[in-house]
Amino acid sequence: MEKLQDKLITDFREMGQRAIQVSTSALNDQLNERIETLEQVSALQTNTLGKLRESSAVAEKRVGHAVDSIEKSLSAAVPGGFKLEPSQYAGQPQIGYGHPQFQPALPPLQLARIDPEEVAEAEGKYGFCPNCTSTKIRRSNRQGLLDHVLRFFFVAPFRCKACRHKFYKF
Ligand SMILES: [Zn+2]
């Protein structure tokens, strides 16, 4: 009788251990799968974020180039700077829109003061930036000993507005 009991008990123990092993390995498999899926998802997200960042940088560059070329062609077309004289056009009927009822509402014209430095810059008086070849160049204030010493050699500091590069020229 005792032997049978012992055998039954050991059998039960073994069964229990096997059950625990099976369920643990099943649980492990499930967890591993989930972790893999999460890893894949986060890799995808990182990838997408990287692509978004790249495309926005490209878009920014394109807009910058477009603005630059528009500015260049405008300043090339009007060498004396941009001047609007509204008195010349005031009171004259506008051509092209037909009946005044169909004229689009335009914002009032605003005159901008012309900075002589900007005109010089538009004319390309100071040449171009040796770093990025932009003509958006300004005389820079003399700072530091070097700038003041160079004054005696008629060399002045300039600053590129496009890339912030500082350089010296006669
Ligand atoms: Zn530059």
For 135-152, what is each residue's pLDDT tens digit?
889 899 898 888 888 888
Place of tokens 């500091």: 157
| Contacting residues for 49 by C-beta, under 8 A, at least 6 apart | none
Is the pLDDT score of 89 beyond 80?
A: no
Taking the centre of ligand 1 as the mean of its atom positions, its distance from the CA of residue 155, in whole angstroms, is 18
Q: Report phi then psi at 97, rounded to 5.
A: -95, -10
Distance 63 CA to ligand 1 centre (A): 17
> 78: phi > 0 → left, psi -120 to 50 → alpha, else beta; which?
beta
Cα 101 to Cα 76: distance, rounded to the nearest angstrom: 36
Question: Are 169 and 155 contacting, i.e. CB atoms less than 8 angstroms apart?
Answer: yes
Q: Rounded to two decimals, what is the model's pTM?
A: 0.31
pLDDT digits (tens, 9 = 90+) for 1-47: 677 788 877 887 888 788 778 777 877 888 788 778 778 877 877 77
| Dist. CA 70 → ligand 1 center (Å) | 18
- Give the whole-angstrom CA distance, residue 78 versus residue 99: 32
- 77 alpha carbon to ligand 1 midpoint, in Å? 23
Tell me the C-alpha distance between 44 and 24, whole Å. Answer: 30
Beta-bridge partner residues of 167: 158
